[in-house]
Amino acid sequence: MRHPVPYASAAKKATNVSLAEPLLAAAKELRINVSQAAEAGVAQAVAEKRAEQWVQENMEAFESSNVYVEKHGLPLAKYRMF
């Protein structure tokens, strides 16, 4: 599933990236814009890492909620239709 790159309109800064030669050759052959592809990949990696960090930062709350449910059951469970 492709999402728009949230950094697409941000100012750009030149950087050096090392890529495997066959990969770079294939990208050029397929007319893939390597800068855009790299930016999209880095943006995805940043989003995934932030999501992992969020889960870790909120783990105590998740565990607390699970303990509550184990002890008291689901709130509003009596209203479930299934």
Query: In whole angstroms, what is the distance from residue 10 CA to residue 18 CA?
Result: 23
Nearest to 38 by CA among 12, 17, 23, 20: 17
Q: pLDDT of 46-60, one tens digit each?
A: 999 999 999 999 999
Q: What is the pTM of this model?
A: 0.72
Q: CA-CA distances (angstroms) from residue 55 to 2, 48, 59, 63, 74? A: 23, 11, 6, 11, 22
Q: pLDDT of 23-81, one tens digit each?
A: 999 999 999 999 999 999 999 999 999 999 999 999 999 999 999 999 999 989 889 88
Based on its alpha-carbon atoms, the radius of gyration of the chain, rounded to whole angstroms, reads: 22
